[in-house]
Amino acid sequence: MRIDTYINTILKNVKHPTDEEVYFLSTRATKSTYNIQINDIPVEQSFGYQKDNRQRIFQDFHSINSTLNSNGEQKVDISIYPYNRDTFQSNDRIKIIIEKMDKSGNLNDYFEFKPKMLEDGETPEYVGKSEYKGSFMFEAKLPYQKEIDWFSSENLIDQKNIEQEVVEAYKEVMRLYAEGDMETLLELYKSIFQAEAQSVYATKEKQHRLNYKLNIKRIHPFFYKSKPNLVKDYELKFYADGKLVTLEKKKDSSRAYNESALSITYDKDFDKFPDGLDVSVKHLEMFEEGTTPKMEMELYLFFYKPKGSKTLKLATDIFREEKLLNSID
């Protein structure tokens, strides 16, 4: 009941302007891995081929409204790599599509980007290369004022002691998870959930809109005491042109994607888990057979400072599914 009340409160606070346009990004790339950023914010990273050799050509993506700035000009940067091959081949295809959904739920292509062709007019410029980097601009305006507007916040890059401040912010988040402080965690994430619900104009009757970004699975660890792990070999990373800051694992040659420096592990005791939230049948069967699922969740958190503030606040995060560590398969 507490979680239901929490979600309903968020939904009641969503504003509903005359226009409720929701923008989406779709990637079409032949058997490739890729990183995509909008306004210097990571939004799509496909790196599953390390564990999944299927040739995935089309990848849908949830709403990108939360990454849009208020001036209407939006920049998209893409980095694409051929998977399990040295270079792109002549039959490889790359296309990025921006789609727009109106208030009635009608979805239409809004903007399409394709890499340039070579002089022969038939060969894409990425053929024969080991990576392709490109960018494009598109116009999109939001009909509401963002409650968490990091685009107008303080620039953090040149601030003194910023790394120490970020580490202290992470330590506080780690303490909340370690102590199982559900009430404070719910309050900490509430502004993120509220901003995401607003970005898709979510309502109780339109739960499908809420699920584009507001993934309640992020609440799963709140019911348990977790063991946080902040890697020692981290690096301070800035995004949104210096307005957002996070800690990431330092990359090595085997990993092309960004990964948070912070993760948590916890035992998923279903005796403490509330009814009504999504439950993995596999995990529940393990528990009923006497094995408590041991889970890991990456906490990819981004902090900002509102204009004039001296304190870091949680701005947004990138949700990544919890992982089962003690599979019995």
- What is the distance between the alpha carbons of residues 33 and 245, in angstroms, rounded to a whole number? 24
Inter-residue contact 313 to 304 (CB < 8 Å): yes
Q: What is the pLDDT of residue 62?
A: 67
Question: How much is the pLDDT for 214?
Answer: 63
For residues 211 and 68, give the distance between their C-alpha atoms in angstroms, rounded to a whole number.
Answer: 19
What pTM did the predictor assign? 0.89
pLDDT at residue number 54: 47
Q: What pLDDT score was predicted for residue 196?
A: 87
Residues of the chain short of pLDDT 50, as ranges, are 48-58
At residue 76, the pLDDT reads 95
Which residues are CB-contacts of 114 (< 8 A; sequence separation ≥ 6)? 94, 95, 96, 124
pLDDT on residue 253: 56
Q: For position 182, what pLDDT does the model report?
A: 92
Q: What does the pLDDT read at residue 46?
A: 63
pLDDT attached to residue 247: 98
Tell me the one-letter amino acid at 220: H
pLDDT for position 209: 59
Give the amino acid at 299: L
Distances (CA, A) of 262 to 44, 233, 278: 19, 11, 24
Q: How far is CA 119 from the centre of its chain?
A: 38
Query: What would the 3-class secondary structure string for the chain be?
Result: CHHHHHHHHHHHCCCCCCCCCEEEEEEEECCEEEEEEECCEEEEEECHHHCCCCCCCEECCCECHHHCCCCCEEEEEEEEEECCCCCECCCCCEEEEEEEECCCCCEEEEEEECCCECCCCCCECCECCCCEEEEEEEECCCCCCCCCCHHHCCCCCCCCCHHHHHHHHHHHHHHHHHHCCHHHHHHHHHHHHHHHHHHCCCCCCCHHHHCCCCCHHHHHHHHCCCEEEECCCEEEEEECCCCEEEEEECCCCCCCCCCECEEEEEECCHHHCCCCCCCCHHHHHHHHCCCCCEEEEECEEEEECCCCCCCCEEEEEECCCCEECCCCC
Task: Look at residue 296 in the predicted model and tell me its pLDDT.
Answer: 96
pLDDT digits (tens, 9 = 90+) for 252-274: 755 667 889 999 999 999 998 88
Q: How far apart are CA 110 and CA 129, in angstroms?
A: 29
pLDDT at 216: 78
